[in-house]
Amino acid sequence: MNCRSTQAHSAIRTKLLAPALLLCLLLTQPVTAVPALAQSPQAGSLAAALDLADKGYYEDAIKALQALLPSAGLAKHDVLAAMAAAYERLGQWKEAATQWSAAAAASYREQDRAAAIFRWANALQQSGDAAQAARLYRAFLRLSPQTQAKRETLSRIADCYAAAGLWGPAADYYRQALADLAPGSDRVSLVLRLADALVLAGDQAGALVLLASEASQVPDEQVAQFQYRWAQAERAAGKEQDGLARLRSLLLSYPRSPYAYSALMDLLDAGQDVDDYWRGMVDYYAGAYDPAIQALRRYLESDRTESRASALYFLGLALQAAGQESEAAAQFDALITGFPSDSRVADAWLAKGQAQAAAGDESGAIATYQAFAQAFPQHDLAPEALYRVAQIADEAGQAAAAQAAYARVYQLYPAAEQGRAAALRAGLLAAQGNDWSTAEQYFGTAVTLSPGSGEARRYQFWLARAFLANG
């Protein structure tokens, strides 16, 4: 057998089923060579067309494949499938569907026909013909009842029915797709889609029973999303107060989640009062900085005291994110002086220095960082504070001052990550000034401080450079 022809056929079979979204080969049966293609004179031309597609020249590949069709013979399926795949890459789903339809009709192997039908269904689904796509997915399952893609296909059928507004059949197929599916993100996705289908099919009670039965299996990272959708289902079922209570609980329990922001919007739309502290924090995490600033200022202007330190911190962060650096520094300072034992004080010190530097007050930032390191020399953030002092001098082009500041970091905190980084940066500054003798000392220090660290080789490289420069 011609080696080039064999390679061409292998490339065809690999590339026709390339998109990961369509699963691994779709079928359980391994694909074997088609003798008619491998021995045909078109094999080299087909390989060339596939090479064009592989390089992104999809229009040229399609033209080359169209020219091959009249003489393709028993290889017609492969040519049509290659053309359909090229149309997929172009996002021309109607044309892809037409070619997959023709490829399915030209297939003489059942598994090739099944694969073409699946891709035909996918192209129709992408083009918006959900009803026809559902019919073809069902045909695929009849041809390949034991396929490893069965669950995916069932969920696609359900999605197609949902897109067509046929919520009862959609719910039936979502239930089939859920059967024996282990807990995890895939199960949560299907459960939520099934719950939506049940609600829209008029079975709100069934949706609530489903969600209650699944709640204990939801992964931590999806709890906020699950609770939000559960609240929506409760409100749709007429359990308004239960739904609002769940939204409020979500907001308080997961303020960082985007679903907390959605819950906040829903509560406000429903005319519910929301605590300004929590409102400000949720707004901040959602990137809604102006509303966050307004809410936190309202809270701080009230006579409440239970979360003032935290409110000052988040107000500072919101102001900083909004580009109001000087005002942000003032809020951090109010936290530092007013609540010296609060758990956020160390973060506030560094945030204040960062805000001062961003506002152009480099000397103020240096003073803040140095004051923190002096007041809390054993704190985990002390090395970072002194490293930032060195960075300010470094960025200002003050090489000598920066070297001295970096040296102080590794001398005081040799075990810290910033200590190793400081020794390296001091060495690089010395090397930039062509002082390779001093650079060698700094690089040697970095190597000494980094036994077993992931950056050790980088430090050793620069030490070797210094050795060479110094002869």
> Could you report the per-residue pLDDT of 421-436, keeping only the tens digit for each?
999 999 899 889 998 8
pLDDT at residue 5 is higher than 70 = no
What six digits make up the tokens of 327?
Answer: 């005002």
Give residue 71's pLDDT band: very low, low, confident or very high (50, 70, 90): confident
Q: Mean pLDDT over all residues of the chain?
A: 89
Distances (CA, A) of 251 to 216, 285, 313, 317: 19, 12, 19, 19
pLDDT tens readout for residues 208-236: 999 999 999 999 999 999 999 999 999 99
- Start and end residues for every CATH 1.25.40.10 domain found in the chain: 1-148, 152-274
* Count of other CB atoms within 10 angstroms of residue 408: 17
Torsion of CA 95, 99, 101, 105, to 10 degrees: 160
1-148 folds as: 1.25.40
Q: Which residue has the higher pLDDT, 271 or 27?
A: 271
pLDDT at residue 19 is higher than 70 = no
Which residues fall within 8 angstroms of residue 37, CB to CB, at 6 or more apart? Answer: 5, 8, 9, 12, 43, 46, 74, 75, 78
Instruction: Outline where DSSP puts E strands in 13-159.
Output: none
pLDDT at 40: 54
CA 131 to CA 170: how far, in whole Å?
Answer: 12
Report how far Cα 296 is from the mean position of its chain's Cα atoms: 30
pLDDT at 44: 67
pLDDT at 396: 92
In this structure, are residues 266 and 292 in contact, taking their beta carbons and an 8 Å threshold?
no
Q: Which CATH number fits domain 152-274: 1.25.40.10, 2.40.160.10, 3.30.300.130, 1.10.287.1080?
A: 1.25.40.10
pLDDT at residue 107 is higher than 70 = yes
For the entire predicted model, the pTM comes to 0.81
pLDDT at residue 48 is higher than 90 = no
Closest Cα to residue 335, out of 309, 297, 298? 309
pLDDT tens readout for residues 318-377: 999 999 999 999 999 999 999 999 999 999 999 999 999 999 999 999 999 999 999 999
